[in-house]
């Protein structure tokens, strides 16, 4: 994870890390990842705060960056906004 250990991560960094994980696993459109798995991965590194990660995922869905599948239990990146997703990750995480 690109977040600095020992300091509190901003919401925009959490959102970028969520999208970066999905991007690295190539989860676009119909290829998705269980939301619980994603939250568990990230909550270990954001001071055991799974609720905060879930809230950031909800905000990403409202903004149109991610899509929910299977009764909101799985998640993928929105292929219609692929360029914006990559730009957002680069701007926040300096990848």
* 95 residues of the chain, pLDDT tens digit each: 555 555 567 889 999 999 999 999 999 999 999 999 999 998 887 776 788 899 999 999 999 999 999 999 999 999 999 999 999 999 998 86
5: in domain: no
36: in domain: yes
**Domain assignment of residue 82, given as a range:** 11-93
52: in domain: yes
Q: Kindly report the pTM of this predicted structure.
A: 0.87
9-32 burial by CB neighbour count: b if 16+ within 10 A, else e?
beeebbbbbbbbbbbeeebbeeeb
34: in domain: yes
CA distance 12 to 23: 16
**Which CATH number covers residue 74?**
1.10.10.10
| Cβ–Cβ < 8 Å for 13, 56 | no
* Number of separate domains in the chain: 1
């Amino acid at each position: 994870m690109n977040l600095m250990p020992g300091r509190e991560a901003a919401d925009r960094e959490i959102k970028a890390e969520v999208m970066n994980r999905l991007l690295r696993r190539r989860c676009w459109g119909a290829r998705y990842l269980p939301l619980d798995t994603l939250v568990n991965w990230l909550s270990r590194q954001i001071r055991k705060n799974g609720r905060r990660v879930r809230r950031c995922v909800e905000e990403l869905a409202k903004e149109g960056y991610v899509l929910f599948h299977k009764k909101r239990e799985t998640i993928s990146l929105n292929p219609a906004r692929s360029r914006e997703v990559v730009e957002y990750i680069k701007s926040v995480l300096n990848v």
